[in-house]
Amino acid sequence: MKKEQWDDHDWDGEDIVKIVELNGTGNASELKIFINMDANSLIEYLRNNRIMVDTRIAAISEIYKIGILIYRLVSYLELKEKFGEESVPVDEIVATSMKGVARTLLDLQINEQIVKMMANE
């Protein structure tokens, strides 16, 4: 999701990801996942590391999207399995934790070799 769509989800630059259950079962195949591809954490990483080449921006954005997707989905499903029927706001808990994860995700996953490979350099 891009910045232009933030109003549709009541988001800002701090929001990272949101899962919508299509039928309320929590089944992974019936979840719709929205990832903020203009999140402050991604934009700051690109700016702080002076990433300005389009192919590198695309490669890093893809790594970010995949990392957020995997972490969010696994966390959501695990917590939903454990607390699904209780009055624990699983979506809110995971959404909040993702703000911290997003700030460190790229620093932990990316090195120059990975960026060159992803950018086809």
- Give the closest residue to 31 by CA, choosing from 114, 118, 90: 90
CB 91 within 8 A of CB 21: no
pLDDT of residue 88: 78
Write the DSSP assignment of 5-44 as a string of letters: GHHHHT--TT--EEEEESSSS--GGGEEEEE-TT-HHHHH
pLDDT at 30: 80
The pTM for the full model equals: 0.81
Into how many domains does the chain fold?
1
Q: What is the mean pLDDT of each run of 10 residues along the chain (121 residues)?
A: 93 92 71 93 92 90 93 88 78 86 86 72 69
- The answer to whether the beta carbons of residues 21 and 40 sit under 8 Å apart is no
Domain that holds residue 70: 3-118
